[in-house]
Amino acid sequence: MRQIFAADESLSWVRADFEAMASSASLLIFRVQSLLGQVVPLRHRSVVRRPSSAASGVLACGVEAAEATALAVEGLTLAFGGAVAFEAIDLTVQAGEIHAVIGPNGAGKSSLINAISGLYAPQSGSVRIGAARFSRVPAHRLAALGVARTFQNLALFKGLSVFENVLSGLAGAQRAGLAAQMLGLPQARREARAQRERAADVIARLDLAGVADRPVGTLPFGVQKRVELARALVARPRLLLLDEPMAGMTATEKAEMSRFIREARESLGSAIVLIEHDIGVVMRLSDRVTVLDHGRRIAHGTPAQVQANPAVIAAYLGLADEPEAEAA
Amino acid sequence: MTTAIALSAKPRNLSGPVGVAVLLATAFGLVPLVGSDYLFEAILTPFLALALAGLGLNLLTGYAGLLSLGSAAFMAVGAYAAFNLSLRVPGLPLPVSILGAGLVAAAAGLVAGLPALRLRGFYLAVSTLAAQFFVAWALNRIGWLSNDSPSGVINAPRLVVAGLSFEDARGRYLFSLTVVALLTVAAWRLVRSPTGRNLVAIRDQEIAARIVGVKVARTKLLAFALSSFVVGIAGVLWAFAYLRTVEPAGFNLDRSFQILFIVIIGGLGTLRGAFLGAGFIVVLPLALSRLGAVLPGDGFDSGTLEMVQRIVLGALIVAVLIREPAGLAALLDRAGRRLRLPA
C-alpha cells in the first residue's frame, strides 16, 4: 500500500512540477519533455504494482516498503579534522527515483557520495542501504548490497580493455573459484559465458560496441565516462551513485548520457543518486533534488520546488540563471 | 597473391596459437637435435629458470602491481624444500616433490605478503626485504634444512622421472622446458581468468576494485602465493637443472634484483616479457665477452667484464624506464606493427 502511496505522491509532485513550470514559459519546452519522461514510467509502475501489492497482503507490504526505500541517509555528519565536509544530512531515495544532489563547489556533494559508499567514515548519523543500516558503510560489501558507483575523476582499470572493464563490474558476483577457473570446469565456463553476455549487452546498450576491445586509456574522456557507467550498470545495482557523470561533456554527450541514465532507471528500476552541475540536466532528469551549500542541506523537493526556493536561488540558482536565459 | 598473404601473416601471429606452436615445436623438437651441450648448459637452462622466475614475479609485480624484492628468497625456499622433500621422503616422485616445493614457497610467499595488506609501493618492497634476509639467515643457521652440510651447500638429487633420466645437459634442458611450458600455460590461463582481471584491477584502481566487489586483501595474498609458487619452482630448476650444487648465497639480493630487472626490461604485465627479459639478461654477458674478445688489445679481463656488464645493464634499465616503460615486449609489438604497415 505504501508503494501505491509513493507512486501517487510522485504523481502529485509531477503535477506541482507542471504548475510551477507553466509560470515560466521559457522552460516550458524541456519541462514537457521531462514530464513525458516521468509520467509514463510512473503510471506504468502503479499499474504494475497495484494488483501485486493488493494480492500479497500486509506482510508483503512491509517487505515492499523496505525494498522501495533504496537509500536512507539520516543525520550524517562528516568532518576531516576541524573541517566539516557536511553536517546532519538527510536524504531518502526510493527505488526507481533519480535523485539529484546539487550545490556549489565544495558543498560536500562528492564527500556525501564517498561516505555513502564507505570511502569516508562519518562522525555521526547513519546510512541505510536497502534493509541494512550502517554507521560506517563497509566499502567491500557495496557490491553485495547491490550498490554501484562511478567516480568524479574516473577510476577505470587502465590496463584492461573496455570489455574487460565492464566485465570487472561483475567481480562481486563471481562464484567460481580460482581452481574452477584455471581448470575450466563447467560451472566456471557457464559463469564466464553468462558474464560475457551481460557485459556485451550493456556495452551494446551504451553504444560502446565499436570500442569494446580498445584499451580503455586510449579513449576520449566522454567515452571513458560511459565505460564507467557501463561497469556500474552491468551489476544491475539497486542503488546507483553517479558522481558528476557528465562533467566535461558537450551538450550532445550530456543528452546521450541523460538518456542512458533514464534508460537504466527504466530497465533496472534502480534508485539513482546523481551529482551534477548542469542545472538544465538536473531539472530535466531528476525526480527529486537535494541542495547542499557549505555542507548543509538547504532545500529538497521536486526540481520545481527547489528552483522556486528562495534559499536556493540565493545560494546557488541565482548564479545559474544565465545558462537558462541563454537556452531561451 | 594468396601465398604472399599467407607468408606476411606468419610473423603477425607470433604470439597467437600458431606462433606458440611453432615456438614449442622448435624448442622441443629442433633444438635438442642440433644444440650443443654448451648451448644447453650455459644458455638455455639458466634462461628457462630465470624466465620462470620472471614469470612468477611478473604475476605479482606486473599484474597485481605489488613490488617485491624477495624473489630470490622464494627461489631458495623452493630449492631447499624440494631438496628436503626428496631427501626425507624416500620414493617420492620428482614431480611431486617439485609441486610440494612450489606449495612450500607459496606458503612462504603468503606470509611475506601479509604486509601488503597495509603497505604499498616502496614500503612494501622494503618489507619484502625481510623475507630475503630471513631466508638467507635461516638457511645458514638451521643445519637441518641443508642436511647439516657445511655453509648450507646442497646437491641436486638425480633427475629421474618414471624411469627416464634427465641427467645430461640435453635432458636437464628438456626437463626445464617441460616445467616452464606447463607453468606458462597455467599462468596464461590465470591472467585471462576473472582472477587475473582482479589482479589488474587492484593494480590500476584499488578503490574502484574494492567497490565493484573484488576481495582486495584476499586477491593480494593470492597474488603473493601464486607468484611465489612459480618463483619457488624456478628455484628448483635453478638448483637442480642448472647449477646442480647451490649454496644459500646463490639466492642473495643480487638475484632478486636480477629477476626484477628481467621483468622491467622484458615488460611488466606481459607473459612474453619474462622470456624476453631473461633472454636478454642471459645473453648480455656472453655478447659482451665476445665483444671484448674481438676488441683490439687484451680484451676484457673478467673483472672489467663484470663491471661493464653492470654499467650496461644499469644504463639499459634507466633507458627502458624512460623510453619504453612497457619493456621489450612493447618494443617488439611496435616493431611488428611497423613491419606490417608497408605490406
Is B164 inside any structural domain?
A: yes
Is A215 inside any structural domain?
A: no
Distance CA B51, CA B283 (A): 13
- Across the interface, whether the CB atoms of A168 and B198 are under 8 A apart is answered yes
What are the phi and psi torsion angles at B13 (to 5°)? Answer: -100, 30
Give the three cell numbers for residue B262.
628481467
Q: Show the low-confidence residues of chain B (pLDDT under 50).
A: 1-13, 343
Distance CA B133, CA B178 (A): 31
Residue type, A107: A
- Across the interface, whether the CB atoms of A182 and B186 are under 8 A apart is answered yes
Parent domain of B140 = 18-248
Is B315 inside any structural domain?
A: no
The strand ranges marked E within chain B are: 154-155, 160-161, 164-165, 245-246
Residue A193's Cβ-count burial label (10 Å; 0-12, 13-18, 19+) is exposed
Q: Which residues contact A54 (CB under 8 A, 6 or more apart)?
A: none
The answer to ipTM > 0.90 is no
**pLDDT digits 0-9 by tens, B40-88:** 888 999 999 999 999 999 999 999 999 999 999 999 999 999 999 999 9
Is B338 inside any structural domain?
A: no
pLDDT, residue B41, reads 87
Specify whether the CB–CB gap between A151 and A247 falls below 8 A: no
- Across the interface, whether the CB atoms of A171 and B190 are under 8 A apart is answered no
List beta partners, residue A134. Answer: A127
**Whose CA is closest to A274, among A229, A305, A208?**
A229
| Helix (H/G/I), strand (E/B), else coil: B38 | helix
Is B209 inside any structural domain?
A: yes
pLDDT, residue A29, reads 35
pLDDT, residue B303, reads 78
**pLDDT digits 0-9 by tens, A90-101:** 999 999 999 999
Query: A132: domain CATH number?
Result: 3.40.50.300
- Across the interface, whether the CB atoms of A176 and B194 are under 8 A apart is answered yes
Instruction: Tell me the longest C-alpha to C-alpha distance in chain A.
Output: 67
Is A54 inside any structural domain?
A: no
CA A319 vs CA A80, A312, B183: distances in Å: 28, 10, 63
Q: Which of A157, A228, A229 to mutate to test the interface with B (most CBs of B within 10 A)?
A: A157
Q: Which residues of A touch B198 (CB under 8 A)?
A: 168, 171
Is A123 inside any structural domain?
A: yes
How many CB contacts within 8 angstroms connect chain A with chain B?
87
* For residues A122-144, average pLDDT: 94
Element (H, E) at A71: strand A69-80
Assess whether pLDDT exceeds 50 at residue A275: yes
Distance CA A121, CA A134 (A): 11
Is A202 inside any structural domain?
A: no
Is A295 inside any structural domain?
A: yes
A173-192 residues touching B, CB cutoff 8 A: 173-174, 176, 178, 181-182, 184, 192
* Residue owning grid cell 525526480: A287
Assess whether pLDDT exceeds 60 at residue A31: no
A248 touches chain B (CB under 8 A): no
Angle at B175 between CA B169 and CA B180, to 5 degrees: 125
What one-character-per-residue DSSP string does A102-122 give? E-STTSSHHHHHHHHTTSS--
Is B290 inside any structural domain?
A: no
Is B222 inside any structural domain?
A: yes
What one-character-per-residue DSSP string does B39-83 give? IIIIIIHHHHHHHHHHHHHIIIIIIS----S-HHHHHHHHHHHHH
pLDDT tier for residue A327 given thresholds of 50, 70 and 90:
very low
List beta partners, residue A241. Answer: A149, A273
**pLDDT digits 0-9 by tens, B290-310:** 887 777 666 667 778 788 888
List beta partners, residue B165. Answer: B160
Distance CA B170, CA B174 (A): 6
Is A246 inside any structural domain?
A: yes
SS3 assignment for B87-115: HHCCCCCHHHHHHHHHHHHHHHHHHHCHH
Is B265 inside any structural domain?
A: no
- Listed range (A5-9, A316-320, B304-308) with the worst mean pLDDT: A5-9
Parent domain of A140 = 70-146+237-327
Is A125 inside any structural domain?
A: yes
State how far residue B111 is from chain A, nearest Cα, in angstroms: 20
Is B132 inside any structural domain?
A: yes
pLDDT, residue B291, reads 80
- Across the interface, whether the CB atoms of A172 and B209 are under 8 A apart is answered no
* Residue owning grid cell 580498445: A214
Give me the number of domains chain A comprises.
Answer: 1
A151 touches chain B (CB under 8 A): yes
B214 touches chain A (CB under 8 A): yes
pLDDT, residue B187, reads 95
Is A277 inside any structural domain?
A: yes
Q: Which residues of A touch B214 (CB under 8 A)?
A: 168, 171-172
What one-character-per-residue DSSP string does A223-234 give? HHHHHHHHHHHT
Give me the number of domains chain B comprises.
Answer: 1
Residue A219's Cβ-count burial label (10 Å; 0-12, 13-18, 19+) is middle
Distance CA B87, CA B97 (A): 10
**Whose CA is closest to A138, among A152, A121, A123?**
A121
Distance CA B173, CA B26 (A): 13
CA A233 vs CA A13, A156, B212, B254: distances in Å: 28, 14, 11, 48
Give the three cell numbers for residue B10.
606468419
Q: Which residues contact B195 (CB under 8 A, 6 or more apart)?
A: A178, A181, B219, B222
**pLDDT digits 0-9 by tens, A221-273:** 999 999 999 999 999 999 999 999 998 888 999 999 999 999 999 999 999 99
Distance CA A229, CA A240 (A): 9
Half-sphere exposure of A84 (CA within 13 A, CB side): 12
